[in-house]
Amino acid sequence: MNQARAHSHEMRLLTGGVDLFAAMVVAMDAAQHEVLLETYIFAFAGAGTDVAHALMRAAQRGVRVCVVVDGIGTGELPAMWADQFAQVGVQVRVYAPAVGLGFWLPSRWRRLHRKLCVVDTTVAFCGGINILDDYLDPHVQGLLKAPRLDYAVSVRGPLVLAARATMAQLWSRIEAVRELRSQDLGSALDALRGAKQRLHLPVRGETQLVLRDNVRHRAHIERTYRKAIGAARHDIVVASAYFFPGLRLRRALLMAARRGVRVRLLLQGQYEYYLPYRAARQLYGQLMAAGVEIYEYHASYLHAKVAVIDGKWLTVGSSNLDPFSLLLAREANVVAHDAQMAQALQASLVSAIEQGAARVDPHVYLSRGWRERAVDALASAVLRFGVFLTGKRY
């Protein structure tokens, strides 16, 4: 855990749920007015229950507690926990609930993927970590052999108000939909008025909250990445659990490598989903030919979505560099110019590369058999076809 002050902001780097959940529980136990939480996955097992109990304790003290989970990532809460939350006053809403075969419609692929928490407009948490124990995974029976690699930050300062504003706006929109479905038009109009309030996010400064949604912030995270990569002079380290960048972002990485910037990518070695893993490998040849170093993380599951550039710029958030994150999902990243924090994150990533990953050998990659090549090409084609179905350009 590392702490730094970037002008009017105080930030701490949190590694894994072990750091994040402990910090969130401390903040929630000190809450006096409000706790807002958004997450893609809320798993009520292991360390995830520590957060659940902290939410309940806050609600029992009279604190307003609002939780939003994704309809695919979490779905409906387990009955026991839903009842306990209801009894103490924890309000829970499900974003875009999955109904029947509706998930297979491209319009239903727009998920709530961001992981945000704000306590009393005093501290905000943002990163890639779900409310999911570091040693538990929905795709694996039993415990993982090593903790999942992921990061978050806690922030104090003006950014907290921006995080609260975007969370409050989403809550109002969800409430408006609920009221319309219950045919309570007056309450729905009140909720819509709250949802229509324009977000005033800081566009300049050392520390920013950068969003992606399907309204006003469609490409903000990708543009932020491209701008930072385009300005890189010495070193780029990117860790992305799911990696299938579009042409413009891929070109930015290629151009950086060709002008002499050292570019290192830390990607999944142990994969959760076969298709995106193989699609990413289809891009390796072009990247390595330009000098990009690619490392696959094998120590455990890689779930990080972070980057460090020139040891002074960093981003930590929920957005992968793939079509799901960059074109469809609601995402949130913290971006900062902070040498101390950037170097701490880079040291952690370099350690993960050296101790838990293997570099992809260009010669071995180029000599792989035709079957592997065909699988990679097919996975890439399927992913691109999925993008085509959404009507997006990528």
Active site members: 113, 115, 120, 303, 305, 310
8-state DSSP, 199: P
Cα angle for residues 16, 34, 172 (degrees, 5° grid): 95
In whole angstroms, give the CA distance from residue 175 to residue 172: 5
Cα gap 228→134, rounded to integer Å: 30
First to last CA, the chain: 36
Q: Which residues, 6 or more positions from 187, have their beta carbon under 8 angstroms from its beta carbon?
A: 175, 179
Q: With DSSP H G I counted as helix, E B as strand and the rest as coil, what are the percentages for the chain, rounded to 5?
A: 40, 25, 30
For residue 263, which phi and psi values (nearest 5 degrees)? Answer: -115, 120
Report the C-alpha gap between 9 and 206 in whole angstroms: 8
- Residue linked to tokens 């072990």: 18
DSSP assignments along 324-362, one per residue: IIIIISBEEEEEEE-HHHHHHHHHHHHHHHHHHEEEPPH
